[in-house]
Every structure is written in structure tokens, then in C-alpha cells.
Structure 1
Amino acid sequence: MRIGRLDQSGSTRAAGETKRTSSSSSSTAAGTAAAPRDAASIMGVPEPELTPNVQRALLTLMGEVDQLRQETEKLRTRVRELESLADHDAMLPVLNRRAFVREVSKALALAERHNAPSALVFFDLNGFKAINDTHGHAAGDVALHHVVSLIASHLRETDAIGRLGGDEFGVVLTLSTQSAAETKAQQLAALIADTPFEHEGKALQVGAAWGVWPLEAGMTTDVALAEADAAMYANKAAIKERAAS
């Protein structure tokens, strides 16, 4: 029957078309799958363009970038070292005067903002000049290191110690009352006087006079340092008077 033949041939054509369509779809899918590979890139350069010359140039560039990173890190480390040197005494492991004054300012700001006073202690060594004159400046240097080590080992992490002059030192006792600071200063002075140090086989000793001044709201760093210094000299005079009587 014609209808039958038409149906059969139509089915055959349909099948052929279906097969061709399927093949075409497969080719399209394969092309689509291949597209990402064609679009792949390294550092923004498509893969087909990665000729040997381009690859060598990219490797050189990557090496230069890595070298710049290393040099930048070295510079950062050096900056940190210089900042540390700028804040520390040239001979002793304590803050220099400029950096210590900054710590006093921080304590005063804490008192101003939070009504949390701290205290400033001023130390001056007794007998230091005699050691320099009798045993030489090397012995004096040992004495300074000895005193700094004793004081620093009995302070908290929140406290600060700095060298204010030849044999003068300042200590900020954070969040300490004047009474507590005076007790602490007296203990440190006794520790210094009772702990000898050795130089060239000889046991030597120094003493320490001290003065305390509270770091309270409304005060300036200059006033605080001057008042603590004055309190220290009053204490030093009292020590000499007791020794003479």
C-alpha cells in the first residue's frame, strides 16, 4: 500500500535524519567540550599563544616577581629593626628617653580617658661615679647592665623602663597607685643595694635613690618627669643625711 510505503520510507528518512541530528549534536557537544581547553590560559595568555618564547618570558617574569617579594620582605624586616633601634638605648636593653616619654604620654592618656592613673618612678644610682673612677668605665657599663636586669626582671609586661640619662632611669608602673608605686620603688632600690655584681673577679655594689609621682588626668609629661625627678633628689638628699649622721 502507498500509505505503507510512504510510512516506511518516511520512517527511514526520519531515522536517517535522527541519526544525522544525533551525530551533529555529538559533534557540537564535542566542540563545546573542547572550547574550554582552547580558551585555557596561563597568566592571561591563551594556551595557543604560549610559544617557547612566550613561556620563557613568563618564567622570567615570575622569577622577577618572586625576587621582588623577597626583597620587599627584607625591607620590611629592616624597617622593623630600625624602628626598634630608634626607640631603644644605644647601650642598654631599655627604651631611650624619647621612647620612654612616649610611654609616659600613653599612661597620661589612659588616666585622662578612663580615669585610670598610673605612676612614674625616677631612679638615680648611688656610687656609680665612684665605680667609674676606681674601676674604669667598663665596670660602670657592667653596673648599668646589672641594674637594668634587676629592675626589668621585677616589672610586669604592661610596665616600661627607659634610660633618661647616664645613670638615671625611669619606670612607668601602669595602673598603679602612688602608694603601691612607692612600695615597689623601695623594694627595687633594696634589691639593687643588696645584690652585688662581679667585675674582673671583684664584687661591686651600687645603690639607688628613687622618687615617685602619680600620672593623673590633666598632667603633662614635662611636669610628671620634673616632679618625679624632684622627688628622687629629695630622697637622695635624705639618704646622704642619714649616712652622715
Structure 2
Amino acid sequence: MRVRSSGAAGGLASTGPVGGTVRSEAASAASAPSPVRRASDTASIMGVPEAELTPNVQRALLTLMGEVDQLRKETDALRAKVRDLESLADRDVLLPVLNRRAFLREVSKALSLAERHDAPSALVYFDLNGFKAINDTHGHAAGDEALKVVADTLASRLRDTDAVGRLGGDEFGVVLVLTAVEAAERKAEELAEAIAAAPIHFEGHTLNLRAAWGVQALERGITPETAMAEADAAMYARKQAVA
């Protein structure tokens, strides 16, 4: 059974069950969920509820979001291109090894490691014997093939932490990280033997090279330029001794 009662101002009040609490229409309206609040719970643009934005503002924001996303993609592509260009700038023009500039940077890194942690590394300087004869007899294409074989021979026998570079002409350098001079000399001898044993195939000919080497410790108090000069001098002395 529902009853009708009079409000304070003599108007009609909402009906309710007998024995229950009678609510006014104003109170019921106040407690109903807001349509705007429901919209804001389901969708937003850049953190702003869609219901609070005009259609024109919504379109402008969506356009801006698309442009920002495209700019981010273009920036990522440019960064990847810069990394590729930096890699090319560090590579020798002919061989898959470092060029002289990039190799000197690796020498500097090894010297910094020695300065900070008193952990010396070693530099090995290689010079190829017989390279000029290959060029003179078989041409520069044969010389290029010989250099590729040497580069591959060196790179395949080094650790990921080590570095190999072409220093110019038929000269190569190797940085042996965290390696004492005695161990570096053994490694240099091993690499020289591998170069001598690696056959160079060119237009039906099998060619061979030998390598002279010198070792210099990369330790505190020495500069990259001095290290290179000392390793070169050690290589030249060894080359003269066996000539």
C-alpha cells in the first residue's frame, strides 16, 4: 500500500512504501549518477575526459597526438641512422675492422682502465712481410684480398672485449684488454703463426704472408701516441732481427 503525504510547503512529495523512509524528488535527483561522470569514466584524450571537450577541441587534440607519434617515429629512425653512420665512420674503408682513428680510441679506453683500476692491457703492432711483392706481382686486387684474409684471421682469434684495426697500408693493431705483456707476447706469436698459415687464394694462385710484431703495455703514465710509437719500434726491431 502506498500513501501520499504533504510536504512542508503544501506540495506533493514522492511516494514510498509504508513504514519506510519517504524521499523527496529533489533528493532522488541528487543521488542519481551524472551522465557527465559516466562519460569521463570511459574515455579521455590526453587525460582530459571527452565529455569536457568540444568536438573541435577533440579533433585538434587527436591530430596533435598523431603528429607527436609520427615525430617520435621519425626521431627513432634518425637515431638509428646516426648509429649506422657512426659505425661506418669507425670502419676501415676496405676491411671489416676499425680504422686508425677508432683504434686509437680503443687504446685510450684501455689506458683509462689502467689509470682507474691499475689493470694494464697490451697493444700489439703487426706489419706484413711480403705484401709489396704480392701487389707488385699480382696487382692491387690481390693485395686487397691478402689484407682481407689477414683481417679475418686476426678478428676470428680475438675476444669480444679486444679490438683490431688497420693502422695504414699493411699495418694492423690489436688491443688485448686486461692482458699482461707476457701473455700478450704469446698471443701475438699465435696470431702471427695464424697469418702465416692462412692461404690467400687469388685467380688460381695461392699466396702467403708473414707478419712481424711488437708489444707495448698499456699502463699508467703512457699516452696513446707513445704506446703506438713504442709498439711500432718493438715491431721494427723484431723485423730487423729476423731479416
TM-score, normalising length: structure 2: 0.84
Deviations 1:134-163 (A, max 9, x none): 111111111111001011111011111111
* Residue aligning to 1:47: 51
Q: Aligned equivalents of 1:76 and 1:93: distance in 2?
A: 23
* Residue aligning to 1:103: 106
* Residue aligning to 1:209: 212
* Residue aligning to 2:37: 36
Q: Aligned equivalents of 1:136 and 1:98: distance in 2?
A: 28
Q: Aligned equivalents of 2:91 and 2:139: distance in 1?
A: 25
Q: Aligned equivalents of 1:58 and 1:214: distance in 2?
A: 62
1:174-213 alignment runs, 5 A limit = 174-213=177-216
Q: Aligned equivalents of 1:55 and 1:12: distance in 2?
A: 49
Q: Secondary structure of 2:122's partner?
A: strand
Q: Aligned equivalents of 1:22 and 1:149: distance in 2?
A: 91
1:23 corresponds to 2:25: yes
Of 71, 74, 88, which aligns to 1:71? Answer: 74
Contact between 2:216 and 2:231, CA under 8 Å: does it hold in 1?
Answer: yes
Moved more, 208-217 or 84-93: 84-93
What is the deviation of 1:38? 5.7
Deviations 1:220-239 (A, max 9, x none): 11211111000000111122
1:227-238 alignment runs, 5 A limit = 227-238=230-241
* Residue aligning to 2:128: 125
Contact between 2:128 and 2:211, CA under 8 Å: does it hold in 1?
Answer: yes
Read off the aligned partner of 2:131 and give its amino acid letter.
F
Q: Aligned equivalents of 1:94 and 1:218: distance in 2?
A: 28
Read off the aligned partner of 2:64 and give its amino acid letter.
L
* Residue aligning to 1:144: 147
Q: Secondary structure of 2:64's partner?
A: helix
Instruction: Name the CA shift for 1:67/1:35 in 2 (closer, same or farther; >3 Å).
Output: closer
Q: Secondary structure of 1:21's partner?
A: coil
What is the deviation of 1:34? 2.2
Identity %: 62
Matched residues, number? 229
Of 160, 163, 167, which aligns to 2:163? Answer: 160
What is the deviation of 1:99? 1.3
What is the deviation of 1:61? 3.1
Q: Secondary structure of 1:211's partner?
A: strand
**Which structure dedicates a bigger proportion of its chain to helix?**
1
Q: Aligned equivalents of 2:112 and 2:58: distance in 1?
A: 59
Q: Secondary structure of 2:128's partner?
A: strand
Q: Aligned equivalents of 1:36 and 1:17: distance in 2?
A: 26
Read off the aligned partner of 1:28 and give its amino acid letter.
A
Q: Aligned equivalents of 2:44 and 2:187: distance in 1?
A: 69
Q: Aligned equivalents of 1:239 and 1:115: distance in 2?
A: 34
Q: Aligned equivalents of 2:199 and 2:14: distance in 1?
A: 107
Q: Secondary structure of 2:217's partner?
A: strand
Q: Secondary structure of 2:227's partner?
A: helix
Q: Aligned equivalents of 1:37 and 1:70: distance in 2?
A: 34
Q: Aligned equivalents of 1:192 and 1:158: distance in 2?
A: 21
Contact between 2:135 and 2:142, CA under 8 Å: does it hold in 1?
Answer: yes
* Residue aligning to 2:97: 94
Instruction: Name the CA shift for 1:69/1:128 in 2 (closer, same or farther; >3 Å).
Output: same
Read off the aligned partner of 2:110 and give its amino acid letter.
A
Contact between 2:36 and 2:51, CA under 8 Å: does it hold in 1?
Answer: no
Which stretches in structure 2 are left out of the alignment for 5+ residues?
17-21
Instruction: Name the CA shift for 1:202/1:63 in 2 (closer, same or farther; >3 Å).
Output: same
Which stretches in structure 1 are left out of the alignment for 5+ residues?
1-8, 241-245
